[in-house]
């Protein structure tokens, strides 16, 4: 996130946390809006990049999911895509791949200041990895509810906000869905 955008975001989160008596799980309504999506433009930029990674995963013969990690200055630290089919490992989700690669490449201090952007809301397994890596914020494109309607199943598709709210550690701030209409395009025709 650029410093000025991050400062606005953090100031808003702090203000809302004080007003509500806790850490918010969604961005405050007074955040700057862009078009009709209700998202900050910097979030849209990174969500579009996550969607591109999802499209690459699909082209590579995998499930259409992509993720990236962005540092506190708005620089992309690392990217990952789903590799479950080509690696023959059901745990190779984009977010899990990302957390594994990031944990090897960066300090826990760097991870604790980063934002994870993902094309689709993280599943329970990926939420666990995000939590244990102490990544403090997640921004997603397609919601679990929308994905469930596309794949015609809701097995293990739970809102990540609910998962993160159950933790005793500092809660992960969740923003999304962002650009959901764009995020679902990569799923069309894939889930049959």
Q: Is the pLDDT of residue 19 over 80?
A: no
Per-residue model confidence (pLDDT) at position 39: 62
Q: Is the pLDDT of residue 103 over 50?
A: yes
* Annotation marks residue 95 as catalytic: yes
The rounded percent of the chain whose pLDDT value lies above 90 is 65
The whole-model pTM stands at 0.79
Comparison of pLDDT for 116 and 40, the residue scoring more? 116
pLDDT-wise least confident of 90-94, 101-105, 185-189: 185-189
Per-residue model confidence (pLDDT) at position 154: 67
DSSP code at position 93 = -
- Catalytic entry in 81, 95, 121, 180: 95
pLDDT tens-place string over residues 28-79: 223 233 334 456 888 999 999 999 999 999 999 999 999 999 999 999 999 9
Residue 152: C-alpha distances to residues 58, 77, 130, 135, 192 (Å)? 19, 34, 26, 30, 9
Q: How is the beta sheet containing 115-120 ordered, strand by strand?
A: 76-81, 66-70, 115-120, 137-142, 173-175
Per-residue model confidence (pLDDT) at position 171: 81
Pairing mode of beta strands 76-81, 66-70: antiparallel
Quote the mean pLDDT of the chain: 82
Per-residue model confidence (pLDDT) at position 157: 73
Residue 167's pLDDT band, with cuts at 50, 70 and 90, is: confident
> Can you list the positions of beta strands (E) in the chain?
66-70, 76-81, 115-120, 137-142, 173-175
Residues 6+ apart with CB under 8 A from 117: 43, 46, 47, 49, 50, 67, 68, 69, 70, 138, 139, 140
Q: Is the pLDDT of residue 161 over 50?
A: yes
């Amino acid at each position: 996130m650029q410093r000025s955008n991050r400062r606005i975001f953090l100031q808003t989160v702090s203000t809302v946390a004080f007003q509500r008596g806790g850490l918010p799980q969604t961005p405050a309504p007074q955040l700057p809006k862009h078009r009709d999506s209700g998202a900050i433009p910097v979030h849209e930029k990174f969500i579009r990049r996550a969607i591109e990674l999802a499209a690459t995963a699909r082209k590579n013969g995998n499930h259409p999911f992509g993720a990236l990690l962005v540092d506190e200055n708005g620089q992309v630290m690392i990217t990952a895509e789903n590799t479950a089919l080509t690696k023959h490992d059901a745990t190779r989700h984009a977010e899990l791949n990302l957390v594994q690669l990031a944990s090897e490449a960066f300090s826990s201090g760097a991870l604790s200041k980063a934002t994870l952007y993902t094309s689709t809301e993280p599943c329970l397994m990926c939420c666990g990895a995000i939590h244990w890596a102490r990544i403090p914020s997640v921004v997603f494109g397609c919601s679990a509810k929308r994905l469930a309607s596309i794949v015609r199943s809701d097995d293990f598709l739970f809102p990540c906000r609910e998962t993160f709210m159950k933790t005793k550690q500092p809660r992960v701030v969740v923003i999304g869905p962002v650009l959901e209409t764009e995020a679902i395009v990569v799923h069309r025709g894939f889930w049959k």
